[in-house]
Amino acid sequence: MSRHAVLRSLQTIVPDTVLEQNEVRDIFASQPDVGRLAQRIIGASFNGSGIDTRHTVIDEFSSHPRPGEPMFFEREKNLLRSPGTKARNDLYVREASRLFVEVARRALDADPDVSAADVTHVITASCTGFHAPGPEYEIVRGLGLPDSVQRYHLGFMGCYASMPALRAASQFCAADPDAVVLVVSVELCTVHLRSTEDPDLIVANSLFADGAAAGIVTARDLPTPTPGVRLDGFHTAIAAEGEQDMAWTIGDNGFEMILSTRVPQIIGETIVGAIRPLYAREGELAEAFDEGRVGDRVEHWAIHPGGRSILDRVQERLNLSDAQLHPARETLRVNGNMSSATVLFVIKRILDDGAADGSRVAAMAFGPGLTAESALMTVTAGVA
């Protein structure tokens, strides 16, 4: 009987520059092109976000920026600039390439049983920039992996992309029990922020942040117990009524997020049906789900914190406790929404908090479409 693949040695990185939510709110609200109505929307969006701090690769927002002509923010004038998409993407290429290699190296360094020579596949995910050769190539070259490593990049899928990346890694391991898959997500959302009066873009300005995550997926029987999660199953669902409410497009002054106020409502209305097939595969768990008691059987919930109101709706509809939502809410509070990397941050927080060996984890992420990706996992080599 084939073994399930396990995600282990999960590592995360955030850039050094910290964005204090209240300070960023005041910067956006004080721009000369922002009227009173937009100022009120900015205040409500930032104050209700559930975020205290975020991180950015744009060091112009730090108290000690590098010298040179500012591209995004003139601190002396308190003025936000709006560079073109090429300039933004150039910054992405420079900073994301570094983070892809660094966080992938950390994942390998953290694993006592896996080295660079063992890696057979690399899967990368990112929706905040483009370049070719891409990040999966940069990792192979930067870590000295064999040229024969199979490389895959999931680009421009949005906030849920780490879930199909994990699913693909699991499938590679099912096809080849000796496979070792490096899964890496890097998102630099802040390179697309700009002054605006558009309500959707204001919401994006209040939520999105930069971060990187990487882990190793393998079904090999490795000797050293290492905290991780067994990947038990995945499911994809589409709430087609939300297709126009969450989207990610390319504009002349950066990428543009459509994130309407209807998204939490749509997720709340569709979440039960969207994830029921995943639980229907597991006897007693399926029964608990149908009875509204799934939170009693699945202890940990790695929910992508697309925003505070999304977490509120999921908690309400699935009857989850405050403790079960704590990893997602704390990730949102400290790091903001880092698009596809975020759910990996939440899984790592669950493991770091001492999830018991054998306890179950439900993971969910939402993105353009409106797409809901879900997974069931089991903690391995955790704290008994």
Q: What is the 3-state secondary structure (H, E, C) of 205-265?
A: HHHECEEEEEEEEECCCCCCCCCEEEEEEEEEEECHHHCCCEEEEEECCEEEEEECCCHHH
147 in a structural domain: no
Q: pLDDT value at position 155?
A: 96
45 in a structural domain: no
Q: What are phi and psi of 187, to 5 degrees?
A: -130, 130
Residue-wise pLDDT tens digits, 170-194: 999 999 999 999 999 999 999 999 9
Q: What is the mean pLDDT of residues 110-117?
A: 97
Range of the domain at 328: 228-380
Structure tokens at 144: 């000295």
pLDDT band at 286 (very low <50, low <70, confident <90, very high): confident
CATH number at residue 342: 3.40.47.10
80 in a structural domain: no
274 in a structural domain: yes
Residue-wise pLDDT tens digits, 84-109: 999 999 999 999 999 999 999 999 99
Q: pLDDT value at position 285?
A: 85
Q: What are phi and psi of 95, to 5 degrees?
A: -80, -40
62 in a structural domain: no
Q: pLDDT value at position 62?
A: 87
358 in a structural domain: yes
- Residue 71 near residue 91 (C-beta atoms within 8 A): yes
More confident residue, 274 or 19: 19
214 in a structural domain: no
- SS3 (DSSP) at 25: helix
253 in a structural domain: yes
Q: pLDDT value at position 1?
A: 42
pLDDT band at 382 (very low <50, low <70, confident <90, very high): low
Per cent of the chain over pLDDT 70 is 99
Q: pLDDT value at position 257?
A: 86
Asked if pLDDT for residue 284 goes beyond 90, the answer is: no
Q: What is the mean pLDDT of residues 250-270?
A: 89
Q: pLDDT value at position 2?
A: 56
pLDDT band at 384 (very low <50, low <70, confident <90, very high): very low
Asked if pLDDT for residue 157 goes beyond 80, the answer is: yes
Rounded CA separation 222/218 (Å): 9
Q: What is the mean pLDDT of residues 351-363?
A: 96
Q: pLDDT value at position 187?
A: 98
**Strands of the sheet with 210-218, listed across from one edge:** 150-155, 121-126, 180-188, 210-218, 6-13, 228-238, 371-380, 360-367, 300-303
Task: Write down the mean pLDDT value for the chain.
Answer: 94
- Residue 49 near residue 204 (C-beta atoms within 8 A): no
Residue-wise pLDDT tens digits, 196-232: 999 989 999 999 999 999 999 999 999 999 999 999 9
More confident residue, 15 or 291: 15
Q: pLDDT value at position 283?
A: 82
Predicted TM-score (pTM) of the model is 0.96
Question: Which residue is it, tokens 């009066």?
Answer: 197
Percentages (nearest 5) of helix, strand, coil residues in the chain: 40, 25, 30
Residue 333 CA neighbour count, 13 Å, CB half:
7
- Residue 376 near residue 282 (C-beta atoms within 8 A): yes
Q: pLDDT value at position 247?
A: 87
Domain count, the chain: 1
Q: What is the mean pLDDT of residues 116-123?
A: 98
In DSSP notation, 35-65 reads -HHHHHHHHHHHHTS--SEEEES-GGGSSSP
Asked if pLDDT for residue 344 goes beyond 60, the answer is: yes
